[in-house]
Amino acid sequence: MAIDNDAFYGDTKPLKLFASVAVPGAVGMLASSLYGLFDGIFVGQFLGQTAFAAVNLAFPFVAINFSLADLIGVGSSVPISIALGRRDRASANNYFTCACIVIVLLGIIMGAAMWLAAPALMAAMGAEGLLAEYAAQYLRVYALFSPVCTIVFAADNYLRICGKIKTSMVLNIVMSAGILLLELLFLGVFKWGIWASPLATCLGMALVVILSMAPFFTGRMTLKFCKPRFDVKILGKMVAAGSPTFLSNVAARLASIIFNTVLLAMGGEDAVTVYGVIMYVNDIVQPLLYGVCDSLQPAIGYNYGARYRTRVKKLTTYIFMAGAAISLPAAALIFALPLEISTLFLSSPSAELSAMAEFAMRLFSITFLTRWFGFAAQSFLTAINKSLSASILSTANALILPMAFLGILWQLGLTGIWLNFGLTAAAVAALAIAIFIVQRRSLLPAEDKKEA
């Protein structure tokens, strides 16, 4: 049953709306990230360090493929939410329909490209022997399922736009539970190889894609499929709105590829393994931030489109408060328990590997002292369609500043790489503050058509 978006996003008290949207969003994103965490644990424990390092080498290319789907999924969500706030359902439905078609087509093209290029990509990074073979196997399974699975995160956005917040949360939990059970079965019971890890993930995602999209095909949602009307302006708006998230994701994965290449040269497989542990830990905290911020984007976009100034201001304040509440305890926990966290992913690590992981994790923990501010700022700017400013933040955070600090800290060797994360986060927070100061007059609607 379709909800009344104005009653939900436009009339619900801001604090209640925040709780109704952000809490399930954070829980759903945490659930969806748990499969990644346990994927790392299962691969490390059942298949060993080489397989774990191979996953870390291959996954950035998988993430880039999903980022293309996010470019359209998130990019369509922003104009959809604003159109619904303006009561323009026809435009909202057309954005939705066109976006779904484009995502599937991109999945087919990128899947074919990844399948063909997998061995060459791993060789170009400097991987050899079993490490290169494992990484190519891992990448090719995702390539095979790309046309089906890449729409999974866009479908999650569309459910939340339609007010199906709890449905989104439940499906994320179902996806994670299904993937975990399949992965445990494939790796722990059947003793299959590294290819079984992405197979479990893709089967779980495919199931959730079917369950997520089925209500849209029955016409029971606020958004409905229609005869698509493609034009350059529609695609341009989707690409512009989705660019901050896309650039952030792609730039982050490009940075990971570069870091992995440097790490292989500086510290070999051990350094890549430690970097992989850091990425898995990051992928637990960041989805919580993303879940809160991304879940509130439709609400902020709707109220911005409807010109409800006070409501936009209050919802934005909640994003920043929640970001700090998630990030600061995470920083303390990572700093206090670096070795305990690292050994979840490492089966019988050597003394040298354990010492490297403990040192790296402690330096990495300072990242979350400031990352929450830049992340929340980017999410807010995306929600109100300030694509250029959000893109500046995202690319600075994901690629430009990490590469700059990589050069600046080069003489410090591996220590410079572990410090890179925290310095980048602090610099992005400062940049976000500067953007807010410069653009302060245009960040909220000029008038308030409704009291909060």
Burial pattern 332-363, b for ≥16 Cβ within 10 A else e, equals: ebbbeebeebbbebbeebeeebbebbbbbbeb
| Phi, psi (deg, nearest 5) at residue 40 | -65, -40
Q: In the structure, what pLDDT confidence band is assigned to residue 10 with cuts at 50, 70 and 90? A: confident
- Whether 6 maps to a domain, the answer reads no
**In 86-225, alpha helices (H):** 89-124, 129-149, 152-161, 165-183, 196-217
Residue 317 C-alpha from the chain's centroid: 22
State the CB neighbour count (10 A cutoff) for residue 268. Answer: 11
Entry pTM: 0.71
By the 8 A CB rule, do 176 and 32 touch? yes
Angle ∠(128,133,139) on CA atoms, nearest 5: 120
In a domain, 2, yes or no: no
- Is residue 159 in some structural domain? yes
- Return all residues near 423 (Cβ < 8 A) that are at least 6 apart: 401, 405, 409
With CA atoms as reference, report the closest residue to 123 among 133, 114, 113, 115.
133
Cβ pair 97, 33 in contact under 8 A: no
Question: Rounded to the nearest 5°, which phi and psi values hold at 193?
Answer: -85, -170
- Measured CA to CA, the distance from residue 248 to residue 289 in angstroms comes to 14
- Answer yes or no: is 449 within a domain: no
Domain count, the chain: 1
Q: Given a cut of 60, is residue 2 above it in pLDDT?
A: no
State the maximum Cα–Cα separation within the chain, in Å, rounded to a whole number. Answer: 65
Question: What pLDDT, in 10s, does the model give residues 143-175?
Answer: 999 999 999 989 988 998 888 888 888 898 899
Count of Cβ atoms closer than 10 Å to residue 227 Cβ: 7
Distance of CA 451 to the CA centre of its chain: 34
Alpha carbons 39 and 202: distance in angstroms, whole number: 12
SS3 content of the chain, % helix, strand, coil (to 5): 85, 0, 15
Which of 10-19, 119-128, 323-332, 359-368 is predicted least confidently?
A: 10-19
Rounded to whole angstroms, how far apart are CA atoms 123 and 263? 15
What tokens does 250 get? 């792609």
Q: What is the mean pLDDT of the chain?
A: 88
Handedness of CA 237, 83, 96, 177 (dihedral sign): positive
Residues ≥6 apart with Cβ < 8 Å to 308: 10, 445, 448, 449, 450, 452
* Residue 452 placed within a domain: no
CA–CA dist 46, 20 (Å, integer): 39
* Cα(140)–Cα(410) distance, integer angstroms: 34
Q: Please give the residue range of the domain that contains residue 292.
A: 19-442
Tell me if 409 sits within 8 A of 440, measured CB to CB. no
* pLDDT at 5 (0 to 100): 59
1, pLDDT greater than 80: no
Residue 13 identity (one-letter amino acid): K
Q: Work out the pLDDT band at 449, boundaries 50, 70, 90.
A: low
Is 14 part of any domain?
no
| Helices 89-124 and 129-149, axial angle in degrees (round to 10) | 170
**Is 409 part of a structural domain of the chain?**
yes
For residue range 58-107, what is the model confidence (pLDDT) as tens digits? 988 998 899 888 889 888 988 898 888 888 999 999 999 999 999 999 99
Q: How confident is the model at residue 241 (pLDDT cuts 50, 70, 90)?
A: confident
pLDDT at 286: 84
Radius of gyration of the chain (CA): 21
CB 275 within 8 A of CB 56: yes
- Give 113's Cβ-side CA count (13 Å radius): 10
Query: Does any domain span residue 5?
Result: no
Token pair in block for residue 381: 């700017």
Sign of CA dihedral 63, 68, 71, 77: negative
Residue 292 in tokens: 């809160």
Please state, in angstroms and as integers, the Cα–Cα distance from residue 213 to each residue in 61, 144, 225, following that order. 26, 20, 11
Res 433 pLDDT > 80: yes
pLDDT of residue 208: 94
